[in-house]
Amino acid sequence: MTLDATHNPLAHSWVESANDPCCDFPIQNLPFGRFRLGPHAEWRAGVAIGAQVLDLQQAGLLDSADMAAVMALSASQRRALRHRLFEGLRSGSHLQSHWELALFVRSEVEIGLPCPVGDYTDFYTGIHHATTVGKLFRPDAPLLPNYHWVPIGYHGRASSIAASGQCFHRPHGQVMAAGDSAPQLLPTRRMDYELELAIWVAQGNALGEPVCMQQAEDHVWGLSLLNDWSARDVQAWEYQPLGPFLAKNFATTVSPWVVTLDALAPFRSKPLRPADAPQPLPYLDSPANRSSGAFDIELEVWLQTAAMQAAGLAAQRLSQSNYLDACWTLAQLLAHHTVNGCNLRAGDVLGTGTLSGPQAEQGGSLLELSQGGKLPLTLHNGEQRTFLEDGDTVILKAYAERAGARRIGFGECRGTVLAARV
């Protein structure tokens, strides 16, 4: 977690597009992802640099095109790979003429999931989200008594996770309308998004062997954006007593580039824990976590409706928040998930939960921004939204920026709601 030459904000790459100050993928970032040259071609492990992707096998950095080879590396081996990438891509590198042949234009290749996803757990670390939503469902007791003690989560569905660009039909589900005596199967009328980060597990732990706080981050490959699409009317009817099920497992979209914790080292921060919250139990505590277990990552939600797209209007930003407002750090999520011996595996995804800010306009879902559907948002073009309509595209963005460091970005997490199947 110390800074090194790969974080030097003045470092330049011979890949010119990487030196654009607005570029999400400068040489200080080097996020991992998979691409392929056609719909039937093999997925290939790569690293995003500027507007390009470097093929790791072709560059001589991997023996195969399989991303599993990267994920099997230890944390220190992954750091060594980052240094080799940095050395090869920096201006003046003797590898330039060799690696130029291993570069592909990102917009000309298909970008997929960074790896096959094994299991998916979604947490609930966004305390402002938990409080606002808790008020809607339980006005008298918004935060349940366990919230400050247990990193709350549920097991989600990995099979419906897809990379940015996912389009899905408005799902059907059981909905119990107010005043009715029986539910009906209907297309959801309360289609929503959730602004989250995904924590990608690189190396698992053996069944029965918990991961302690001191080693938790060694198991983490990195972070991407995650949209936990949610059907709120289905959720309200089904969620008790076992939590979300069909309200959330029809689609989950992630941004395809895994931004490593090494790349995020300049943006570490002390976790913000509410003054009235109890100290975590010892298995969720460590000196390093107290001093720098959190990450300063700016988060944004953008919406482009079908009408905006037809009129040639750009997407509109709906909200901004920051990962610093999460109640639990990623190390705490790993330590908690495994404390009973549960085995995480390479390719598992842990969602942070919706990351809302403290202000009402910083809600990371429409449920919050429209106060449970009571207060429609008026968009710049005059359209109104309480929940998503068919043809709406939601775009999540994230970046880390700090004086003395190069800004790095996460790219986009984009998804579109299509009309329900008839």
Q: Which residues are catalytic?
A: 129
246 vs 379, which CB is nearer to Mn ion?
246
Rounded to whole angstroms, how far apart are CA atoms 198 and 309? 28
> Which residue's CB atom is positioned nearest to Mn ion?
228
- In whole angstroms, the minimum distance from the beta carbon of 122 to Mn ion comes to 5
Note whether 194 binds Mn ion by CB under 5 A.
Answer: yes
228 vs 238, which CB is nearer to Mn ion?
228
Note whether 192 binds Mn ion by CB under 5 A.
Answer: no
- In whole angstroms, the minimum distance from the beta carbon of 332 to Mn ion comes to 17
Give the range of 12-20, 65-73, 101-109, 190-198 binding Mn ion by CB under 5 A. 190-198
Give the range of 147-155, 191-199, 289-297, 365-373 binding Mn ion by CB under 5 A. 191-199
Q: Greatest CA span in the chain, whole angstroms?
A: 73
Give the range of 4-12, 226-234, 276-284, 374-382 binding Mn ion by CB under 5 A. 226-234
- In whole angstroms, the minimum distance from the beta carbon of 154 to Mn ion comes to 9
What character string, x for contact with Mn ion (CB under 5 A) and - otherwise, covers 325-354?
Answer: ------------------------------
Total residues interacting with Mn ion, rule: CB under 5 A: 3
55 vs 228, which CB is nearer to Mn ion?
228
Give the range of 158-166, 215-223, 225-233, 377-385 binding Mn ion by CB under 5 A. 225-233
Residues 239-298 that bind Mn ion (CB under 5 A): none
Tokens 């989560």 map to which residue? 153
194 vs 217, which CB is nearer to Mn ion?
194
- In whole angstroms, the minimum distance from the beta carbon of 196 to Mn ion comes to 6
- In whole angstroms, the minimum distance from the beta carbon of 146 to Mn ion comes to 17
Give the range of 158-166, 222-230, 332-340, 364-372 binding Mn ion by CB under 5 A. 222-230
Residues 105-124 that bind Mn ion (CB under 5 A): 122
117 vs 265, which CB is nearer to Mn ion?
117
Note whether 24 binds Mn ion by CB under 5 A.
Answer: no
Residue by residue, what is the 3-state secondary structure of the chain?
CCCCHHHCCCCCECCHHHHCCCCCCCCCCCCEEEEECCCCCCCEEEEEECCEEEECCCCCCCCCCCCHHHHCCCHHHHHHHHHHHHHHHECCCCCHHHHHHHEEEHHHCEECCCCCCCCEEEECCEHHHHHHHHHHHCCCCCCCCCCCCCCCEEECCCCCEEECCEEEECCEEEECCCCCCCCEEEECCCEECCEEEEEEECCCCCCCCCCCHHHHHHHEEEEEEEECCEEHHHHHHHCCCCCCCCCCCCCEEECCCEEECCCCHHHEECCCCCCCCCCCCHHHCCHHHHHHCEECCEEEEEEECHHHHHCCCCCEEEEEEEHHHECCCHHHHHHHHHCCCCCCCCCCEEECCCCCCCCHHHCCCHHHHCCCCCCCEECCCCCEECCCCCCCEEEEEEEECCCCCCCEEEEEEEEEEECCCC
- In whole angstroms, the minimum distance from the beta carbon of 64 to Mn ion comes to 34
Rounded to whole angstroms, how far apart are CA atoms 43 and 45? 7
- In whole angstroms, the minimum distance from the beta carbon of 318 to Mn ion comes to 17
125 vs 289, which CB is nearer to Mn ion?
125
Give yes or no for a contact between 357 and 322, defined as CB atoms under 8 angstroms apart: yes
Given 55, 66, 228, 368, the residue binding Mn ion (CB under 5 A):
228
228 vs 298, which CB is nearer to Mn ion?
228
Q: Give the residues lining the site for Mn ion (CB under 5 A).
A: 122, 194, 228
